[in-house]
Structure formats: C-alpha cells, structure tokens
Amino acid sequence: MISVKFWFISFFIFLTIISVSPYPNPTKRNTGDTASASFPDVNNVNTVTGEVHFTEISDSKVRMTGQFNTGFPNGHPDNYQFEIIDKEDKVIMDVTDDIKNKLQINVPGTAPFECDISGLTIKDIIGKYLLVKRRQYVEGGKAEIKKA
C-alpha cells in the first residue's frame, strides 16, 4: 500500500513543477480594440450597404471582416477601390490590395470576407471613414468607423 508520505512528496513535486512552468503571456489590447462601419440600407442596388468590423490583433495589425449586401454591380474586384479617409476626404490608407484578394463578388453584393491590414490600430481609424469606390472615381458608399 502506498504511504501517506509518498502522496505528500508527490503532491509537492507536482506543485513545484506547476509553479515554475512559464505561463502564456497574452497580448494586452487597448480599451476599445474593436470598431465597426455600417453602410445603411438606402433601397438602391448601386449604393453600398452592409457592415464591416475591425479587430486589433496586434500592435499594428487590424483584422477586417464583413459583407456588402449591395453596391457591387460589376463582378470584377479590380473595378473597386477601398480607402480609409478622414473627415476632409484625405486618404489615411488605401486598403484595396488587402481586401481585393479576399473579396468574392456575388452581384449585387459580396460573400463574407476577412483580411488583415498591417500598419493600423483601432485608435488610428475610429472617427475615420471607410470609402468604397467603383472604377476609382464613383463613390459607391461611405461609412463612419465607430468604436464598437
């Protein structure tokens, strides 16, 4: 029969191993690490409607997920441009290349998409706008990026 002393020593060895093993260091995120942009429904198939969400996944990388319901009358992703702009319409970042490769257009909208954008934080984009343009000059839709 196993003695009490054996269990006692085994228990302390187990606690020692647990106490010295490294714990994962989770990435601390800023308060307000998510944001969203909602393109309102205006009952016009040529105007962009849908929703896009932004999640900060590292210090300078944001994951963008979303779906557009309307506003994509042409099935070629090369005909669209995506920009984050400020209130004066100054381009903060052109994210076309990041989105275009992940975008599957199902006229008049898109399938759900997800892409990672480097060089941005949630703090950088709150209060800015996501602009969708067709053929680089026709505004398809513009939505304010708000803290979620």
Cis link prior to 108 (omega < 30° from 0)? Answer: yes
What mean pLDDT do residues 47-61 have? 92
Q: Which tens digit of pLDDT belongs to each residue from 15-24?
A: 677 666 565 5
pLDDT averaged over every residue in the chain = 86
Q: What's the whole-model pTM score?
A: 0.76
pLDDT at position 25 is 55
CATH number for the domain that contains residue 70: 2.60.40.200
Looking only at the bridges linking them, the beta strands covering 105-106 and 109-110 are antiparallel
Q: List the domain range (segments joined by +) for residue 115.
A: 34-147
**Is 22 a domain residue?**
no
Within a domain: 79: yes
* pLDDT tens digits, one per residue of 112-122: 999 999 999 99
Query: How many structural domains comprise the chain?
Result: 1
Identify whether 45 is part of a domain: yes
Q: Is residue 96 part of a domain?
A: yes
For the chain, percent helix, then strand, then coil, each to nearest 5?
20, 40, 40
Is residue 16 a part of any domain in this protein?
Answer: no
Residue 15 lies in a domain: no
Q: Is residue 3 part of a domain?
A: no
Position 69 scores a pLDDT of 93
What amino acid occupies position 42?
V
- The answer to the question of residue 62 being in a domain is yes
Is 65 within 8 Å of 103 (Cβ atoms)?
Answer: no
